A and B are shown apart, each in its own frame.
Chain A
Amino acid sequence: MKYLPNIIFLVALAVGIGYFTLNIRKLIRNIKLGREIEELGDKKERWGNVVRIALGQSKMVVRPVAGIMHIIVYVGFVIINLEVLEIIIDGLFGTHRVFASLGPVYDLLIASFEILALLVIVAVVVFWIRRNVQRLRRFMNPEMKGWPKNDANYILYFEVVLMTLFLTMNATDHQLQHLGSAHYTQAGMFPVSSYLLPVFSDMSEQSLILVERTAWWLHIIGILIFLNYLYFSKHLHIILAFPNVFFGKVVPKGKFKNLESVTKEVKLMMDPNADPFAAPAEGTEVPAKFGASDVMDLSRIQLLNAYTCTECGRCTSECPANQTGKKLSPRKIMMDTRDRLEEIGKNINKNGEFKDDGKQLLDDYITREELWACTTCNACVEACPVSIDPLSIIMDMRQYLVMEKSAAPNELNISMTNIENNGAPWPYNQMDRLNWKNEL
């Protein structure tokens, strides 16, 4: 029975990490439903972006308040998690504060964790106020109703609870050290939790140990629950932001990709030597579908984008269409893509493979009205702090509408016909192109 806590800990850890791994594997499987990634080119710039944009948070600070608060939460989280390493070793081997032998370094570490924990609580409270009291406009768009709104708040509550448990654990530990309780090594420096000492000063050693152990267990179990919550939340970004920034666009934003399948056909049409009646060469694939009507037609990078989106709405708040009351919201494009991908993932979980459910991303999630409102201005791409490209999805879906369904708005069809017939979007004669020089 002596090892019961160790065994419970091991089981909790295994279940927590196991379930998380299972979900991450589903996530990877779902992303792989997308088209394969074309070559990435020189990786140097990509790693540079990871350092600057993800690690360095360079785009977050464009909005200084949110940016600085986020840096606190982010740095706090990463550093405080060093403590989790100790907790895991203690839990598995029944030690207590195993790193205490580091002496003054340990004191410094614990002290900095505590200060960061306090800062994280402050930052999270600011985040909460911005969402629930100030009600910043970018958190209030229609796509943020229901789960997305609750999700955002749950994360904040969770952070506060975890930080409070961490500080409670330290405060009671500290008090037990004062009492000279066995097992509680003299270690650590507690600049924040010291202020909590009065709360615990009248407690018996017994109750202190109870509180300390409870806080310790709840803290680590809380972390494991949080880890598993990620998959169901926009908070997945704390992991995916890094690979997503790596895969972000590194060519000029104005450069849209040229469809290779179209190039082949056009070259054939323009080649005077090509025999139009020749049988297709052996091994030629079935002509690819043009553009995207569902998530499987999108690239793996676009699907990774969808899972990474933090729902921060910076894209939407810079979007000229959205700012002037159109239905288009680039954030919604990303959320819809993710939701549809998840729906397909669940379908596969249930049926072993995807069974047609009579739905698709186009129309059932993203309407044509949204797609046609985009000016391709790249404001959303520029604004996204995690290098997501909502515009590329809009473009792929337009391609499907136009090339597979001939479903462009009528005025556009007229312009296209003009371009085809007389080389300009207006009905002027190409032979008149240089007439302006006579007006010089």
Chain B
Amino acid sequence: MSESIKVPTMAEYMAQGKQPEVLFWVGCAGSFDDRAKKISKAFVKLLHNAKVDFAVLGTEESCTGDPAKRAGNEFLFQMQAMMNIQVLNGYEIKKIVTACPHCFNTLKNEYPELGGNYEVMHHTQFLKSLLNEGRLKVAGGKFKGKRITFHDPCYLGRANNEYEAPRELLEKLEVELVEMKRCKSRGLCCGAGGAQMFKEPEKGDKDINIERTEEAIETQPEVIAAGCPFCNTMLTDGVKAKEKETEVAVMDIAEMIANAEDL
């Protein structure tokens, strides 16, 4: 069945005179990072399964500029933004979904002033809406009754006040959700934000991802659920550093849903 999954590009749609229901903004991690590519693939499977008419920009997509902006390079950020906006507006894009909270935040909050106005959703929000419309079925499957903890991505949670969509999806997976002490609006960062992903941390007692992973492991989960490719990497590294990779998996919620049904 996987043969039949197509990932059409906007250029192809344009050539056929078609407009998709939603644009899947893959993001740099989702395009290039081996771990994050798995999330893109799982998400695409879910879209396909729910019969969502989607397309991607493919080679016309470029970094949103988020890491440049948070590193202080406003110039590079706005260059990236303007280029992306030209492409998006050229295709008359109305609605965007992305599995990266950093892309989500930047597209949703920082592009409008620069001329890019779209309805932007995080993939957990989009999956939730598919669920509500009855287009996507989420059932316990493999994860039923398993202990799961959810790590709130800063740019989904605090930055945009979305704490419930990922949790609702987990609930539908019938897992036993155990919260960490620091969760929701007081959730601890994984350490990747603000362009930290691309540099060595400053001197300290500990790396932030280790601190966070320890807290997650304390809840004795079978899976640490994540909603961001960068958190995912940070926590995966943390679990490895704690030599727990045989007991604890780090998975994106989209992967969990796809996995539960063996898609």
Contacts and interface: CB of A to CB of B under 8 A. Distances in A.
B14 interface: no
A434 B195 contact: no
B74 A399 contact: yes
B194 to A, nearest CB: 3
Contacts of A372: 199, 202
Interface in A349-399: 369, 372-379, 381-383, 395, 397-399
Contacts of A256: 69-70, 110
Most buried by A among B31, B73, B199: B73
A321 B193 CA distance: 11
A31 B248 CA distance: 52
Interface in B27-61: 28, 30-33, 37, 40-41, 44-45, 56, 58-59, 61
A320 B215 CA distance: 13
Nearest to B9: A434
Interface stretch (B131-139, B170-178, B182-190): B182-190
Interface in A226-243: none
Given A263-B78, A440-B41, A324 B199 contact: no
A403 B62 contact: no
Contact of B62 (A321, A327, A430): A430
A258 B198 contact: no
Contacts of B5: 440
B122 to A, nearest CB: 11
B200 A325 contact: no
Contact of A266 (B58, B79, B210): B79
B72 A267 contact: no
Given A433-B61, A439-B41, A326 B199 contact: no
A433 B58 contact: yes
B194 A255 contact: no
Nearest to A62: B186
B158 A440 contact: no
Contacts of B9: 434
Interface in A59-101: none
Nearest to A391: B194
B37 A436 contact: yes
A376 B204 contact: no
B23 interface: no
Main secondary structure of the interface of B (DSSP, over half): helix
A265 interface: yes
Contact of B82 (A266, A325, A419): A266
A375 B193 contact: yes
B189 A395 contact: no
Given A258-B113, A423-B62, A323 B154 contact: no
A283 interface: no
B229 interface: no
A430 B9 CA distance: 15
A153 interface: no
Nearest to B194: A376
Contact of B72 (A258, A395, A431): A395
Instruction: Report, as a range, how many residues of chain B touch the other chain.
Output: 35 or more
B32 A428 contact: yes
A75 B69 CA distance: 43
B117 interface: no
Nearest to A408: B71
A426 interface: yes
Contact of A424 (B63, B155, B199): B63
A318 interface: yes
A428 B192 CA distance: 20
B189 A411 contact: no
B204 A326 contact: yes
Interface in B191-235: 191-208, 210-212
Most buried by B among A266, A369, A414: A266
A222 interface: no
Contact of A398 (B26, B72, B86, B155): B72
A253 B159 contact: yes
Main secondary structure of the interface of A (DSSP, over half): helix
Contact of A263 (B28, B69, B114): B114
A370 to B, nearest CB: 8
Given A254-B109, A412-B195, A325 B206 contact: yes
Contacts of A414: 198
B188 A376 contact: no
Contacts of B204: 321, 324-326, 373
A430 B203 contact: no
A379 B189 contact: yes
Most buried by B among A256, A262, A402: A256
Contact of B73 (A255, A328, A403, A433): A403
Contact of A433 (B26, B44, B160): B26
A269 B80 CA distance: 12
A192 interface: no
A377 B73 contact: no
Contacts of A434: 7, 9, 26, 31, 56, 58-59
A290 B202 contact: no
B75 A403 contact: yes
Contacts of A324: 204-208, 210-211
A337 to B, nearest CB: 17
A363 to B, nearest CB: 16
A320 B188 contact: yes
Interface string A121-160: 0000000000000000000000000000000000000000
B67 interface: yes
B2 interface: yes
21 contacts: A252-B160, A253-B158, A253-B159, A256-B110, A258-B78, A269-B79, A321-B202, A321-B204, A323-B211, A375-B196, A377-B189, A377-B194, A378-B154, A383-B186, A408-B72, A409-B200, A412-B199, A423-B28, A424-B28, A433-B58, A436-B37
Pairs of residues from A and B, 8 with the lowest C-beta to C-beta distance, nearest first: A254-B159, A398-B72, A325-B205, A376-B194, A423-B62, A325-B204, A255-B109, A377-B189
Given A375-B208, A439-B41, 12 more contacts: A253-B160, A266-B79, A266-B82, A291-B72, A325-B203, A375-B191, A379-B154, A382-B186, A402-B72, A419-B68, A423-B61, A423-B80
Interface of B: 2, 5, 7, 9, 26, 28, 30-33, 37, 40-41, 44-45, 56, 58-59, 61-63, 65, 67-76, 78-80, 82-83, 86, 105, 108-110, 113-114, 154-155, 158-161, 185-186, 188-189, 191-208, 210-212
